[in-house]
């Protein structure tokens, strides 16, 4: 059986490490990674699942807000990834949004973001770290994340973000928070696999539960591939 193709988004330049780690995780579960960057012709690409990786902050104009912090935006990347998210939503493709990918998914569904988090933290550190030093509390009613990490559990995650989800977008629900109550994961329980996580699982591939996030994505993408093959 052919391997499902997983589109991995990223900036036009840089971010080689995170993209390579996501590609490694995709290959581990039998998927074929496809790196996608601004300027690529999306209409010529064929893929069965999407990973939207982390990076620059999401531009506030996309959710009708005024900038509150020093800008660090990538409009070309925003445009590419929002187009890919909307296409995945329209076609029912599995999607995993990582950090800014989760934020963009929320914005595409009409949600909003907090532009800074330092003032909203009292129990957790604002320090960036790739190490799993922050606590994730998975919600009891999570169907997607709960199936992978176990519902009502606590897991250790990393933290590399300035922004986070404020108002949750249409059809999405919160499936994980940190100890300050800041949203760490969103999902659509009605979709096959539609998940956004605020942390970076690609830096935690040595943890089986974190690898399993990519495994679940590839498994659902394989179903998309098989269904398309059968239809033809």
For this structure, is 200 an active site residue? yes
Mind giving me the DSSP string for 126-195? ---EEEEEEEEEE-TT-SHHHHHH-TT-EEEEEE--S-EE-SPPTT-EEEEE-TT--EEEEE-TTSSSEE
Number of neighbours of residue 15 by Cβ within 10 angstroms: 17
The span from the CA of 74 to the CA of 138, in Å, is 31
- According to DSSP, the residues that pair with 164 across neighbouring strands are 114
Secondary structure letter of residue 3 according to DSSP: P
For this structure, is 99 an active site residue? yes
For this structure, is 108 an active site residue? no
The span from the CA of 27 to the CA of 217, in Å, is 12
**Which of the following is catalytic: 59, 99, 108, 187?**
99
Maximum distance among all alpha carbons in the chain?
55
The Cβ-side half-sphere exposure at 199, using a 13 Å CA radius, reads 27
Residues with a catalytic annotation lie at: 99, 200, 202
């Amino acid at each position: 059986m052919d391997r499902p193709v997983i589109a991995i988004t990223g900036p036009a330049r840089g971010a080689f490490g995170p993209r390579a780690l996501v590609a490694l995780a995709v290959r581990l579960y039998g998927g074929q990674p496809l790196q996608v960057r601004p300027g690529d012709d999306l209409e010529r690409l064929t893929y069965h699942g999407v990973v939207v990786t982390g990076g620059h902050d999401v531009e506030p104009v996309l959710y009708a807000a005024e900038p509150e912090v020093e800008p660090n935006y990538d409009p070309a990347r925003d445009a590419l990834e929002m187009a890919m998210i909307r296409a995945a939503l329209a076609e029912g493709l599995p999607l995993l949004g990582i950090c800014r990918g989760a934020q963009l998914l929320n914005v595409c569904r009409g949600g909003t973001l907090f532009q800074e988090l330092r003032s909203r933290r009292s129990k957790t550190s604002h320090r960036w770290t790739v190490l799993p030093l922050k606590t994730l509390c998975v919600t009891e009613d999570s169907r997607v994340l709960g199936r992978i990490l176990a519902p009502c559990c606590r897991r250790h995650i990393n933290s590399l973000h300035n922004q986070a989800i404020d108002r949750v977008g249409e059809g999405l629900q919160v499936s994980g928070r940190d100890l300050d109550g800041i949203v760490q994961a969103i999902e659509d329980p009605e979709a096959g696999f539609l998940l956004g996580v605020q942390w970076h699982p690609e830096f935690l591939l040595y943890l089986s539960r974190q690898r399993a996030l990519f495994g679940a994505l590839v498994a659902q993408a394989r179903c998309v591939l098989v269904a398309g093959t059968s239809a033809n």
